[in-house]
A = this chain, B = another copy of it.
């Protein structure tokens, strides 16, 4: 069985990735590392994941040979680690934003100077519903952002016909990461609801790159731990049978569900599933699309494993159902 390393396993997404790999029937979780919590047990930090490993420092020599790695570092910090791993031939799924944008200038506008632009061409965008074939042969996968995952899956069937696109997104607080802050303090987030990143959220160019259309994207912080919803309001360039388009597009997708009524984020909690409801609104001519995912699962860790499955030639759904 392939040996897998999870780097950055003390964060929410990394820890969950470690758990999914640990229970995966065809993968071995070889090591977990952390920059901030090396020396602590993972099942002390996250008892409910029940991964009985001690977090180590990231030293590839010490870790020993592994076949693949999931890297859950912040953008900027991730790329140098990925470079190191690729030099040793380790297949990598990178959860950061470092290799998601194909245009360096856009990356540098929204993030910072690119730490390893030479690897961008090698990276495949890790949305299996769009890039399944490329992912099978990939050695470096840029795992999508959580909002882009939901937004792109919500609108992919309409892609060539998108005219005007408004995306109003809502996410649970785990999306803000594990670092304590004023915004993630229980007393700030509880009984509250706040838009953020208005007009300049970093996931905007990622969504636009994949949809090939300009979007108005605004995320909101909602008082729940896990779960994410995108509410999309679009006009199309053509009159289409949109329900048929969705049914056809997603007929064989193991992790996309079409729902007859508007979904709640609870419907997909702790799953790799994206659940979508489409409502062509006759009165206004708009198409309304609502999609829900678990931001830590399909929006991060379980999608990373779905990508790993493809890269390693395993059944795409292994360890995920």
Chain A residues engaging chain B, CB cutoff 8 angstroms: 12, 47-48, 50, 164, 166, 168, 170, 172-174, 178, 180-182, 184-196, 198-199, 214, 216, 218, 220, 222-227, 229, 231, 233, 259, 262-271, 275, 277, 279, 281, 283-284, 286, 288, 290, 292
Contacts and interface: CB of A to CB of B under 8 A. Distances in A.
Contacts of A290: 195, 198
A263 B283 CA distance: 31
Nearest to A196: B262
Contacts of A233: 166, 168, 216, 218, 233
Contacts of A192: 224, 227, 264-266
A14 to B, nearest CB: 14
A178 B170 contact: no
A173 B193 contact: no
A193 B279 contact: no
How many monomers of this protein are in the complex?
4
A178 B185 contact: yes
B231 A218 contact: yes
Contact of A223 (B174, B184, B185, B222): B222
B263 A198 contact: no
A292 B191 CA distance: 13
A180 B184 contact: yes
B180 A182 contact: yes
Contact of A194 (B185, B189, B262): B262
A174 B265 CA distance: 18
